[in-house]
Chain A
């Protein structure tokens, strides 16, 4: 016997998603095709199970792979800025594409799509974060900090610091010191 059927793939997919998300106790909202809004985060175990159940129906969670790549890009940048004694002098695009095995164009596009900022800007933010840390630690002078972070001069560091925070390094230091004093007084 042969049956002839007609089916609506989109409806089928939505029903599968609804059933599986409910089965895994995920609070959700189905958006346009291919997008689901999840309330809050999903625990890692539960996420893996959900992913497996969906894979069974030929559905895979794309966003997670992209999120993972974003995280790897961020990690690579943080490692570059923080863990090395001195920043690499080769171009950053070269460093990142070697490290992550993707073309820099791909990395840069996906990064700005998901983080609402460019890789270049993110690196500047991270460098200024490191500068803040070094300023607060008080072990290095501003000249030494600018050398360590590959700035051509203290003036260059100061102007980028001002661009990212709106403050001069010395005003920043003063605020941190005053805040600490206040916290100590309260305790």
Chain B
């Protein structure tokens, strides 16, 4: 049974408070019913994910540059745990170099977001990301070749 009415569970890890606020505001404007959990660094995120019996969230927005445990460290840790193979990981970064994008995908990310600097663009990007992710999630598409760069 497809449960179209299940709220989508979104995680967000970013050390910058303003960015966290912008993201959660943008997510709040989605049509899709959703639940958001925020983390201020990689350590907090991994502690949450490593709790036993946690229900795998649908999508994680992960900032690449965080002090301590970086986004890339988290990505590696999550991708070596088969428990999270259904979790889509959306990396966002200020870089748009093809090399960085490629490395991120090879490292196991599904989505690469070049962080827009204006709020209305950010809203559009998040909407597009959540939407395409939902299609993969609800239609049994192959997550292993799910890449989306925006």
Tell me the smallest distance from the CB of B69 to a CB of chain A, in Å. 21
Contact size range, A:
35 or more
Q: Decide yes or no: A116 and B32 within 8 Å by CB, A38-B3, A166-B148, A175-B147 being known contacts.
A: yes
Contact across chains for A165 and B148 when beta carbons are under 8 A apart: yes
Q: Decide yes or no: A115 and B138 within 8 Å by CB, A67-B4, A70-B2, A176-B145 being known contacts.
A: yes
Q: Decide yes or no: A116 and B3 within 8 Å by CB, A74-B139, A175-B106, A176-B145 being known contacts.
A: no
User: Residues of B at under 8 Å CB distance from A?
Assistant: 1-6, 31-32, 98, 102, 105-106, 108, 112, 131-132, 134-135, 138-139, 141-142, 145, 147-150
The CA-CA distance from A60 to B108 in the complex, in Å, is: 44
Closest to A135 in B: B145
Q: Decide yes or no: A179 and B106 within 8 Å by CB, A132-B145, A136-B145 being known contacts.
A: yes
The CA-CA distance from A137 to B134 in the complex, in Å, is: 26
Tell me the smallest distance from the CB of A62 to a CB of chain B, in Å. 12
A59 within 8 Å of B (CB atoms): no
A171 within 8 Å of B (CB atoms): yes
The CA-CA distance from A91 to B56 in the complex, in Å, is: 40
Chain A residues in 8 Å Cβ range of B32: 116
Secondary structure of the A side of the interface? helix
Closest to A71 in B: B2
Contact across chains for A41 and B145 when beta carbons are under 8 A apart: no
Closest to A38 in B: B3
Contact across chains for A178 and B106 when beta carbons are under 8 A apart: yes
User: Residues of A at under 8 Å CB distance from B?
Assistant: 35, 37-38, 40-42, 44, 47, 63-64, 67, 70-71, 74, 114-117, 122, 125, 129, 132-133, 136, 164-167, 171-172, 174-176, 178-179, 182
Chain B residues in 8 Å Cβ range of A44: 1
The CA-CA distance from A175 to B2 in the complex, in Å, is: 31
Contact across chains for B1 and A47 when beta carbons are under 8 A apart: yes
Contact across chains for B135 and A125 when beta carbons are under 8 A apart: yes
Contact across chains for B98 and A171 when beta carbons are under 8 A apart: yes
Contact across chains for B4 and A122 when beta carbons are under 8 A apart: no
The CA-CA distance from A82 to B135 in the complex, in Å, is: 17
Further pairs besides A40-B6, A116-B131, A117-B135: 11, Cβ < 8 Å: A40-B3, A41-B3, A67-B4, A125-B135, A125-B141, A129-B145, A133-B142, A165-B148, A167-B147, A171-B98, A175-B106
